[in-house]
């Protein structure tokens, strides 16, 4: 079982950005201040796109990690399941349909009945959204980042402009639908 580090949370300063541009970055830091996960978001046409970049040697988990693990276990008991990545939006945006994510990597260790799926390096999450009347929305990422010996909670918030970006086109080509979304 992995040791759990105290999670360090840093929320990026809210800089001025325009829709279609990436938001300011938010970081999850190690206890010594090293960035472990960097998050940013943007609007592209009808889609909210969220990017997570895990530091070398670190990974985050899929939005449907728990569902995938349950399916792989087929009713058997598990040693534990890592936390799904979640993307939350405030009332200025409303998710309209399924979430899509990069194709998860299989980190499972079947001999231990431990099934886990996620991402090393850069991963993308996207969903169609409806915009409200506000000019700015808050996008929050909650996740778990792990290396070979420890895990850190990620709770990162970004301010995102909702003005413009109607011309930007995005299709979730190369992404897979989140199971159960």
Are 7 and 154 contacting, i.e. CB atoms less than 8 angstroms apart? yes
As to burial, measured by CB atoms within 10 angstroms (0-12 exposed, 13-18 middle, 19+ buried), residue 113 is: middle
Task: Tell me the DSSP string of 155-173.
Answer: EEEEEEE-SS-SS-----T
Using only C-alpha atoms, the chain has a radius of gyration, in whole angstroms, of 17
48: its two tokens: 């909210």
Domains and CATH numbers, the chain: 3-177 (2.60.40.1250)
pLDDT in tens, the chain (181 residues): 333 333 333 333 333 334 458 999 999 988 888 899 999 999 998 999 999 999 999 999 999 998 998 888 887 877 776 889 999 999 899 999 999 999 999 998 888 888 899 999 999 999 999 998 899 999 999 999 999 898 889 999 999 998 876 667 888 899 999 987 6
What pTM, to 2 d.p., does this model score? 0.85
**pLDDT tens digit sequence for 55-78:** 999 999 999 998 998 888 887 877
């Amino acid at each position: 079982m992995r040791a759990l580090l105290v999670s360090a949370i840093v929320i990026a300063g809210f800089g001025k950005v325009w829709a279609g541009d990436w938001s300011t970055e938010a970081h999850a830091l190690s206890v010594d201040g090293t960035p472990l996960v960097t998050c940013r978001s943007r609007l592209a046409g009808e889609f909210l796109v969220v990017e997570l970049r895990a530091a070398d040697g670190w990974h985050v988990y899929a939005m449907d990690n728990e569902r995938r693990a349950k399916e792989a276990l087929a009713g058997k008991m598990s040693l534990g399941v890592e936390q799904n990545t979640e993307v939350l939006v405030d009332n200025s945006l409303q998710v309209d349909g399924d979430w899509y994510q990069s194709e998860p990597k299989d980190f499972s260790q079947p001999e231990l009945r431990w099934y886990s799926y996620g991402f090393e390096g850069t991963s993308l999450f996207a969903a169609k959204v409806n915009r409200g009347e506000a000019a700015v929305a808050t996008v929050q990422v909650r996740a778990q980042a792990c290396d070979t010996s420890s895990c850190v909670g990620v709770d990162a918030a970004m301010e995102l402009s909702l003005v413009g970006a109607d011309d930007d086109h995005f299709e979730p080509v190369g992404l897979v639908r989140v199971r159960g979304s």
